[in-house]
Structure 1
Amino acid sequence: MPLQTTHVLPPNPDAVVDGLRDLASSSYLNHDATTIHIRAGALFARLKALNRACNTATRTHKQIAADARHDMDQTHLGLQNFLYEKRHLEREIEKCRQFASIYQDVPLYSLEEFLERAPESSRTPDILDNEHALMLSRLSFELLERQRYDLLKQSKTQAATMDNVKAQIDLLVKTATDVQKRVSDLAESIPTTLS
């Protein structure tokens, strides 16, 4: 409930109190007692009405103050909740900033090399304008390049192994040919005396 400041205050009782004082003064000593009594009764009735109006106004203002205090307490509680949430989110943001991810230790191609070598689909204007998307694209490109490098390395290793195996097979064939030739030569040099 919004604070209401336009409540009417009860009339000032000073005029009634002054009227009662005047009745008690010496100027009314010679007046009729019944008239004074009637006038005093009317003034006391008016004073009681003012007292009731004052009590009603006091209760009304107390209620307005209580409502305003309640609204202020609710607003303060809401503020405290928002501040708590803000502190919590700031701590979470700081944790995220402090988080050491492995991508920070991955040596990447420089941005210029990425722009030269990466496929067109990895460096569209939308990607280049978004820092997060650009980092993801650079990491993906780095992964593909490393996989390609590993395949080339593996291919070279396999080619070297195959060349080595081929050389050993060639050596074995040559050695076997030499052995076969010697065996043939030895077999021819042995006289055949079985006749």
Structure 2
Amino acid sequence: MAQDEDPSIKHFQELVSEVADPTSIQIRANALVARLKALNRNANATTRSCKQATTEARHDMDQTHLGLQNLLYEKRHLEKEIDKCRQFASIYQDVPLYSLTEFKIMAPPEARSDDVLQNPHQLMLNRLSFELVERQRLDQRRKELTAQKEELLKQSKLKLATVESVKTQIESLMKAAADIQKKVDELVPALPPSTATTPAPS
């Protein structure tokens, strides 16, 4: 007989092997059956408890695995985005900027401090900002010059129109004077030959 055998089984075996009073046997048998039922209930309860713990542990493990899969997916996604950013060719690389020497001379002092000049990233940002400000300033200046040019052209057209008007009036006056001179010549008789040397009235 195994050492870890349940005592109830041993009692059953003793009960079967003994020749005793039937009432005593019945009482002992009922007690043993009750004991067996209790053991069976305990075994079922333990089984249910183990199943529940196993189910909860499996659920926790599934959740952990799902979280791990999500993290791995996010990691792969971020790595792809990082690669895209590294391969991205920004337009700033093709923008013609003031040279570094010109920037150091022309930029405001706060944009070209020693700390900025030691930081390549901040230096590039400041150079781009300075380039933008300069282009906006030059664009504004170009607009002002264009407006001045248009105003000068407008004034020139007005003066040209005035000159043309005066020219037309002068031509009209000259034509009228020529007509008057012609009529005067027709009205004044020709002078005799003896007085031909006398200067004609002007």
| TM-score normalised according to structure 2 size | 0.54
Of 22, 37, 53, which residue of structure 1 is paired with 2:26?
Answer: 37
Q: Which residue of 2 aligns with 1:122?
A: 111
Q: Which residue of 1 aligns with 2:16?
A: 24
List structure 1 runs of 4+ shifted beyond 6 angstroms.
Answer: 144-149
Q: Note the residue ranges of structure 1 that are not aligned, 5 or more in a row.
A: 1-11, 152-193
Q: Which amino acid aligns with 1:138?
A: R
Q: Note the residue ranges of structure 2 that are not aligned, 5 or more in a row.
A: 142-198
Quick one: structure 1 residues 20 and 119, their matched pair in 2 at CA, closer, same or farther if it must change by over 3 Å?
same
**How far is 1:49 from its partner?**
0.4
Secondary structure, in 3 states, of the residue corresponding to 1:31?
Answer: coil
**How far is 1:58 from its partner?**
1.0
Alpha-carbon distance between aligned partners in 2 of 1:143 and 1:122, rounded to the nearest angstrom:
13
Q: Is the 8 A contact 1:16 1:46 kept in 2?
A: yes
1:50 aligns with 2:42: no
Q: Which residue of 2 aligns with 1:133?
A: 122
| TM-score normalised according to structure 1 size | 0.56
Structure of greater Rg: 2
Flag the structure with more relative contact order, 1 or 2, with Cα contacts below 8 A and sequence separation at least 6.
1
Of 48, 57, 73, which residue of structure 2 is paired with 1:68?
Answer: 57
Secondary structure, in 3 states, of the residue corresponding to 2:20?
Answer: coil
Q: Which residue of 2 aligns with 1:80?
A: 69
Alpha-carbon distance between aligned partners in 2 of 1:145 and 1:101, rounded to the nearest angstrom:
20
State the aligned residue count: 140
Alpha-carbon distance between aligned partners in 2 of 1:139 and 1:132, rounded to the nearest angstrom:
11
Provide, for residues 27-58 of structure 1, a one-character-per-residue CA deviation record: whole Å limited to 9, x for no partner. Answer: x1x32222122112211110110110110111
- Cα-Cα RMSD: 3.5
Q: Which residue of 1 aligns with 2:7?
A: 15
Q: Is the 8 A contact 1:13 1:50 kept in 2?
A: no
Q: Share of identical aligned residues, percent?
A: 63
